[in-house]
Amino acid sequence: MNEPADIGPGDEIPTWTMPFVDPARMRTMAAILRDPYPVHWDRDGNAALGLPGRVINQGPLNLGYIVNMLLAWAGPSCVRRLTVSFGRPVLDGDHVTAGGRVTSIADIDGERRATCDVWLDRDGEHVVTGTAVVALGAR
Amino acid sequence: MGDVIGLSEAQLHALVGHRFSGGRYRIEHWENWLLTDCTGREPLPDRLVHPIVLFHVPILGVGTSITELFALGGVAGAGSVGLEGYDWEYFGPLVEDVEYRMEGGIVAANRVTDETGRVVDKMAFEITLFDETDRMAARITNRWVLRR
């Protein structure tokens, strides 16, 4: 990454791509979360939702792709705040890409922080949007 | 407009102020490893936990569960719950093998008509995590949409 002093409003965050949303990972995730909601593993049940034969990725995993982009850009302990809204569901087999852009820089609590617009795209459409506050130089 | 069943509007509003029992949770290495792997990246260094741990750890640590939250909202079944949004704040690094204390409750519940004309309920809960020195480590506010 650039040095923190070199980062400013308008800078793009290098994208992070999940080329194939894996249904096996959804099943593992459901177990970790103790999440009984069948939309993540019951393909037949999702026919009633207009998604026959498909399963829906967990929201935290969709956010996780955005977080992975931030961690790769600014270091493993950089995240200070995530504020996100979820749009359309991400499904098994989808190819999604996380992106972001710095909107402002401020010195807070002794560290330089970037506020960034962030998003997750599928086929050019935002499926998650939000704001992240990231500490620069927090490796 | 769809029928709204399960909770009256008064019952829905009465959820605000509901407090979870509170409790503690220790994030173990295996759990963090699997969670991080599910996101498609390598484990983080120095026992750091992946930031998306702030979905399930507060829910379980505060003494509730996804199942109980669904029941509180009076919903069940495929398509009955949607994620509206999260607001997660990190006041310090979250790491494995530390016992975090948690407290929280339901902070908003209201009935609205969405852009399609369907009546839906919205519920938000807030949970705060404290580290072993009782300093705030993180705070989450999750907003769910409940469809009847």
* DSSP codes, A11-56: PEEEEEEESS--HHHHHHHHHHHT---GGGT-TTGGGGGT-TT--B
Mean pLDDT calculated for residue range A62-78:
98
Q: Does A82 touch chain B (CB under 8 A)?
A: yes
pLDDT tens figures, A23-59: 999 999 999 999 888 899 988 888 888 888 999 999 9
Burial class (CB in 10 A: 0-12, 13-18, 19+), B49: buried
Token output for B83: 């994620």
Contact residues of B toward A, CB < 8 A: 31, 34-35, 37-41, 44-46, 48, 50-52, 55-56, 60, 65-67, 70, 78-79, 81-90, 93
pLDDT tens figures, A71-117: 999 999 999 999 999 999 999 999 999 999 999 999 999 999 999 99
Rounded CA separation A58/B62 (Å): 21
Element (H, E) at B39: helix B29-39
Which three-class secondary structure state does DSSP give residue A80? Answer: strand
Residue A115 to chain B, least CA–CA distance (Å): 13
* Closest chain A residue to B145, measured at CA: A86
Q: What's the whole-model pTM score?
A: 0.94
Q: Does A84 touch chain B (CB under 8 A)?
A: yes
Residue A1 pLDDT grade (very low, low, confident, very high; cuts 50, 70, 90)? low
User: For an interface test with A, which of B39, B41, B47, B122 has the most A Cβ atoms less than 10 Å from its Cβ?
Assistant: B39
ipTM for this model: 0.94
Token output for A103: 């909107």
